[in-house]
Structure formats: C-alpha cells, structure tokens
Amino acid sequence: MRIPAFACLALALTAVTLSSHASSAQACTPKLAGADLIEPGKLLLSINPTLPPQQYVDAKGELQGLNVELGRALGDKLCLKTQFIRMDFPAMVPALKGGRFDGIDTGMFWTEQRSKLMYMVPYAQQAIGVFATDTSPLKLTSIEGLSGHVAGIEINTYQQRKVEEVNAQMATKGMKPIQLRTFETATDATAALRAGQVQAVITIEETAKAVSKLPRMKLLLTGFGGTDITFDFRNKAVAEATAAAFTELRKDGLYDKLFDKFGMTPIPDKSFAIRGTGPS
C-alpha cells in the first residue's frame, strides 16, 4: 500500500483557521437537534493537521487523512455539514469545554482521566513510535534505549505522559532520564530534529512510520504504550449519535475501507459506544 507523500510536514500550524466541507447532498433530516450543536445543521470538529496519515495538509493546502475522511463520513451519516477548525492540540480541550466546537477529531488517546472531562468514543488503536535522521547511531529495542538522549515530543500529550512515566521508572533503576524537549506540533519537533536540536522524535506510531519514509529519516521504534484513540465531544447526544454513525460506517464497509487506505489499525468492535463516565 502506498502512503501519500507528506510534502507539507515542515509547515508549523500555529494559527487557528477554518476550513469547511459540505457533506454529500442528502434529502434527509439532521439526526441531531440544533440545541445539541454549536451551530444547527453543522458538525464542528477541531483538528491539528500535522500528523500524517491521520490528518495533514497536502501540497495544495487541502486537509487529508483518515480522520478528515472519517469526520466527513460522520457528517454525511448524521445529515450535517462537517466543518474543521484547525488548531494546535494543547488548546483543544479548553476550547471544547468553552463551546468553540462540537468535537475533537485528532485521534486522542483514551485515558480514564480524559474520559471524565468529555465524552470519548474509541474508534481505532494506536501506539507510540520514535524516529530519527538516517545518520543517527541510535538503535532501539525499547523506549529505555533513549536514556540520556534528547528527544522532541508534542507538549501536553499522552505520549509525553507515557515517557515521563518511563523516566520515573528508570530513575528507580539509577538510569538517566530521557531529556524531553517539548513542541507545539510534531512538525515543529521534526524541524528541530533536522536542525540537530534533538536526537530523536517521539510521536504517534503511524506518524513515525510515515515520516521515516521521507528522505534522510529512519524508524527507530514502534509499539510502545498502545491504547485506543477517540473522537471526543462536549455533548452526550452528539457522542451517542457519532457512535451509532461509526457502527453504520462499519456495517456498510466504509470504515474498514478507510483504515486499509491509510494503513491504520481499526478496533475489533463491530459496534461503537462512549467509554467512560463523561463530564460530571
């Protein structure tokens, strides 16, 4: 399977901009009441398009990736117009709680703590990976192989917390910690790697695999800290409708087709549901 060239990987997407997609014209009634949505008739989703093949911007400036196509397919199933709001990951949860949009479409790792802040609908499986330049002498069999080395990582992410847990465990063994330098996006971390400011980048596994296919890059590690990833919502009714739409997408075959297209790992469940208690 061929993964698209991610020519835009060097872009730093720090500004918040809006792009929209009009769902396929359908003679149907929206499956969500206007009171459940930020804007009646629309499904507003935040996205950080810096993580190929999940979400990225192509050479024409167009949004591409699994999460983009899934977001549009959800809009079609719900008879809503999907609109994507581009923004960096750290601001997403506060903006969701503040009513800026209906949901987060960025493949957020499920954790129990997060499941108490919003309604999380698992839809895929994902792990953490590590990549470096092809001249790197590093050879990893586990994340502990980065002990004493400098690694770039997205700030306030699941992967940062998982590596910090490893650092705490290594400290009990008398090992040097992984020296983490945080960045707003994986794009920024990759730029720092190219500039020699870090020795490796820790990010989601699929992005690590995609970047390693670019010139002068190589993959060092995959499969660390795997768990489910989610779409995330402020409103329970929207989350429930999304779960039902995912179930329909799986039944009609589009769900599996998209995962095959982008080389990502689906969850085994045939039906989808909110996991966790949601906001109290």
* Pick from 185, 174, 183: nearest CA to 148: 174
| Shared domain check, 88 and 32 | yes
CA–CA distance, 158 with 20 (Å, rounded to integer): 28
Q: Which residue has the tokens 């045939």?
A: 270
Copy the structure tokens of residue 18: 């809006």
Copy the structure tokens of residue 174: 């008398």
| Shared domain check, 112 and 239 | yes
> In Å, how far are 42, 51, 72, 198, 220 from 205, measured between CA atoms?
31, 10, 24, 18, 11
Q: Which residue has the tokens 């990987």?
A: 9
Write out pLDDT tens, residues 193-203: 999 999 999 99
What pLDDT was estimated at residue 20? 43
| Shared domain check, 176 and 151 | yes
Phi, psi at residue 244, to the nearest 5°?
Answer: -65, -40
CA–CA distance, 167 with 109 (Å, rounded to integer): 20
Return the sign of the alpha-carbon dihedral for residues 266, 269, 272, 277. Answer: negative
- Residue 93 CB contacts under 8 Å (≥ 6 apart), including other chains: 104, 114, 117, 118
| Shared domain check, 245 and 166 | no
What pLDDT was estimated at residue 22? 45
What are the strands of the beta sheet with 55-57, ordered from one edge? 50-51, 55-57, 63-64
| Shared domain check, 152 and 82 | no
Write out pLDDT tens, residues 129-184: 999 999 999 999 999 999 999 999 999 999 999 999 999 999 999 999 999 999 99
Instruction: Tell me the β-bridge partners of 266.
Output: 124
What residues make up the domain containing 20?
7-125+230-266
Q: What is the DSSP letter of 147?
A: T
| Shared domain check, 121 and 141 | no
3-class secondary-structure state, position 248: helix
Write out pLDDT tens, residues 63-121: 999 999 999 999 999 999 999 999 999 999 999 999 999 999 999 999 999 999 999 99
Q: Does residue 6 carry a pLDDT above 80?
A: no
C-beta of residue 130 within 8 angstroms of C-beta of residue 152: no
Query: Which of 226, 241, 274 is at the close of a domain?
Result: 226
| Shared domain check, 121 and 60 | yes
- Residue 277 CB contacts under 8 Å (≥ 6 apart), including other chains: 115, 116
Helices 236-251, 66-78: axis angle to 10 degrees equals 100
| Shared domain check, 110 and 36 | yes
Per the structure, the count of domains in the chain is 2
Copy the structure tokens of residue 91: 């601001």
pLDDT band of 263, cuts 50, 70, 90: very high
pLDDT band of 247, cuts 50, 70, 90: very high
- Residue 276 in any domain: the answer is no
| Shared domain check, 236 and 117 | yes
Among 21-30, 208-217, 231-240, the range scoring the smallest mean pLDDT is 21-30
- Residue 52 in any domain: the answer is yes
